[in-house]
Each structure stands twice: as structure tokens, then as C-alpha cells.
Amino acid sequence: MPDVVDTYIENREMVQPNHANMLDTAHGGNVLKWMDEVGAMSAMRFAGKSCVTAHINQVDFERPVQVGDIALLKAYVYEAGRSSIKVRLQAFREDLRTGEAEKTTESYFVYVAIDEDRNPTAVPDLTYESERGERLREEARSGERTRQ
């Protein structure tokens, strides 16, 4: 059975002018696309199957990501149902020179595992065997509750 820690994925995107709006910051649609992609990767790593986006919770754009900045995306599975998979997603503005990161966006997505005929299919149980896994799960659940 997969553990929360096994589903953790980070990805980075350099924000280019073609990703930007008229204010030279990352267009919200691009940020959501990047979050959805890394979230799907996390869900697929967990399920071992293709996964599709079923639900996007409230999305909070807390601060912009400027052209030239690095968008750091983090995702991990924190809960699973029969075929559904809940993923916590966060985006950060990262300075590669210093390693400093500032949270810019957060949300919780639900994916559904599908079979080769694109029908929902069962996923394995999610485990929380490490201290880090339990902490990640609790952080996600707490954050999700405050957004409802």
C-alpha cells in the first residue's frame, strides 16, 4: 500500500512572458494548469492508474509570481476513497539563488482513477506509516477544513 510520503511530488516552471498577464505576472490559468498537472502526477503515482480531475476546491491566489521567477509546485495525496483521491496542492515563488520560497497559491483537488475504458476504478488504501506522512496528512486536513 502506498504511503503519503511516496506520493509527494515537486515540479518547477520558469515563468516566461508567454505565461504572463498584462501585469507581467503568471496568469492564474497557467498556475492552475501547473497545479493540475503536478496533482495528477501525485494521484497517478498513488493509484498506479490514469487519473482525471473531478473537483477543484477553493483556490486562493495569495501573491503573484513575476515573469522570471520560478514557480515551485508541491503536491501529495492525503486521503483516498474507493476511486477518488484527494491531493493538496501548493505553489510557491522560489529564488533559486537563495533557496527562499514564498507561498503564492493553495488548493485541494480531487482526482478519480480510471481504467482503460475510462470508467472509475478502485484505488489502493493510503497509509501513514511515517511521522512526516502523518504530519502532511494532518496539515492537509486542517487546511481543507479552514477553506470550507
pTM of the complete model: 0.92
Residue 148: pLDDT band (50, 70, 90) is low
Summarize pLDDT for 8-67 with one digit per residue, the tens. 999 999 999 999 999 999 999 999 999 999 999 999 999 999 999 999 998 989 999 999
pLDDT value at 147 more than 70: no
Contacts of 131 (CB under 8 A, 6+ apart): none
Structural domain boundaries in the chain = 4-147
Break the chain down into helix, strand, coil percent, rounded to 5. 30, 40, 30
Burial level of 143, CB count in 10 A (0-12/13-18/19+)?
A: middle
Burial level of 99, CB count in 10 A (0-12/13-18/19+)?
A: exposed
What is the structure's pLDDT at 146? Answer: 75
CATH superfamily of 4-147: Hotdog Thioesterase (3.10.129.10)
Summarize pLDDT for 67-120 with one digit per residue, the tens. 999 999 999 999 999 999 999 999 999 988 898 999 999 999 999 999 999 999
Work out the angle at residue 10's Cα, subtended by the Cα atoms of residues 7 and 15, and round it to the nearest 5 degrees. Answer: 150
